[in-house]
A and B are shown apart, each in its own frame.
Chain A
């Protein structure tokens, strides 16, 4: 994992505190960090060059606002620049509107393995939700079982799939499909094409002939978020030769920083419309330039985390939980339910990586250890009687019960005691947090309102403050040694931001002497 740009900035700018203006000279190191961060995020080299130049021009000469950290100031210039570059232009972009009763043709294209077929399914599912009747058309006549794949995708969604085997040219398949759609009342036709290299002339010509014969209403380029420097070449070729209206960036649920988004937008001028965030049909999101900007800069993606959390909890559960938390009736059953929710959200490490600053801390943490720890806690709780689970007081007050639980779950008494202690602390903490509801509390706990303000994060030294009175050791399932590590880091961060930098420097100097 990478160190976030914010953290690097903090170090770089320490030496220019007290200066009045951003100058070419004092932002030089910071600019270099910007450049490296963008390159590490896979933004194309040439685009980085331009971008960095722009940032420099924007920054130099700016007065340093009093009370604002110069790091913050430059960071916000960088972030705004990125968002601007990835935001669509309402003047030139074709808005993607598909209404029931129309007669739309949508064409998907892209390299092999970008995720076209999966995206076709997701888009069809979404359009069907809006009341249209999509028809999926299988035009990948090359890859073995590609047609079968689309048929299965369509089948699982209950949507029709049109295919003519592998011997009919795609242009003809589309023609027949449109006729079929007209006859069967399908108002949107989604054409899945074969993955192809942008330098494969024969196959590029095939796309051109589909375009010329059928004039699709929208053409989407499906691109992999993990793409490197080559993203510009392929995107440009597809746009120049066939023409695209928008881009879907897939596999954003991984940990790639997604700099390809910037490259593709810059080189094609076309908006990135959708983000693919998983393998299931519902895993499709609108593309948010601001979030990807954060991600590119290694600032974590708090909004996505919160959304993920909201998705993982169904509404009723969440309301129940909140009420229980507020009233202090939080039981072991609820605890286990909550752990399961967290598990449902995906890898712990991935989640922690979304939190600004924590990414760096987590890089030494083994995900396996965390999951294993979850399992241990679960085993202990499952060794409690129903009564004990509902009424934590019993376990808290009666050593005999704890002893039985330990033996029943194959743990030591000490481990059970630790769990009980953690649980009780957490219960207390949760009660404090629930003023704004569970999600509000979670957002609060993450140190922000709606969007985390990078400045705030920077001022806090990179890690959002933990809620008052919260000891990292109280986080359920965090093994003690890591808790210690987190605590130490927390202290260190606080310490460093409270220590006037000048003093520190002096100390270092005297130390050297």
Chain B
């Protein structure tokens, strides 16, 4: 909880004012029954209407002040809690953006999103409640008890008997409801999982005709959820009637004891009504405190989840060391800037917590302007290799060098600015085609975007879209086919005029004709840039200057296609599986 406090500091004015104004409201609340007593006992009983009016007026005045206090408290409490919510969301989002590559596997997107929205909302609500009840409940309770004892110590004491009873009951309710509500959360998640799977896997469910079993599976989850909710709600639902009963029985006691008093003295009806009033306020404040406690404890889980992200390991974005010799200007054509010189020297990498190296003993180098092909079976470590090139993670041993200097000493932002990366899955964003391509280089103009698009073999199909480059793609826009998305993704990387272009199996959805056209275009349109191509088909990389063969994280071969075909058994195996037994025309 203390972690939250630091987020409240910028709003400390509101945090202080809210309870103060609440105190005002409470004071007015406590004074009103007292006025009421006077209205009745001194005004009405003695037939003194003007006096009654006088006190009634006072009562209304107090009500007015109380209203102002309540209003003011709401305003400041809202500002503080909403401000906290906004700040928290912003910080959390920044933390998500900073999350290091390694932490990313711990926190998949769905949980990050849940924490950003659900947990932050929960905390915001809790702060709001705290600021409003934190002062109110205790003050009312203490103040109410005080007023009762002040008005009549002897009689008053007799009325306070429900308090300890209520305390015990509430403690019981809290202790038992908490685990029940926690369980409901888990059951909710379980139900959501079934729904989610049926939505994303709707084709599979239909093809295998499994709807009946899925319905059964769901009804089990839903039934369990209903049972759990019933149990939890029943406990909460029992507290209010109980409080009312205690209150009402006090009224009975009041009638009795008051009556006894009357027989020996004066019936101060107004006084009695005031007593009942205070008692009601005390009992309900106690109940409010209990509810507040329950809500706050449920918030603990949210605090934990938010802290995890805020404290998660982040990428080191700083980096001293030499700037690239050619300088910053992206307008300078690549040919004169030159491609990057990339070298892996004795690199090994192991994911934390893993029992084995994902990559071991990689040593190779490509010179500026050359093309490196990377090939290997599924799970050989190709994507990990690329992650090291992009510096999403640092090698466990050895070093990755660019232009002779260890990557760790280069300015990370500058390095990434020079890399054009086309990931395996073409992740695009909601927006127009133009925006998506231009995303790679914000300073790019229309001409540059078109140039990149033509190079990526995307221009042809984009022209065929309803609104050309202005067509909106994304969740609510046009759905592009796999191959079309890949080409947009490639264009996005190309528009940066990168020094090094990394294609991670980015042509899998393209047919061979389009792919070969792309290869030719890249050869001529991006002269001088170093190219790294991860591929499944040897055909895609056979003309590379060097091919790296990865097998189970190890460098199984490095050389030209011809060399490898003659000497490398792993490579020969792959080639055989691809060309196969089909007859090849000479």
- Do these two chains interact? no
Residues of A within 8 A of B (CB): none
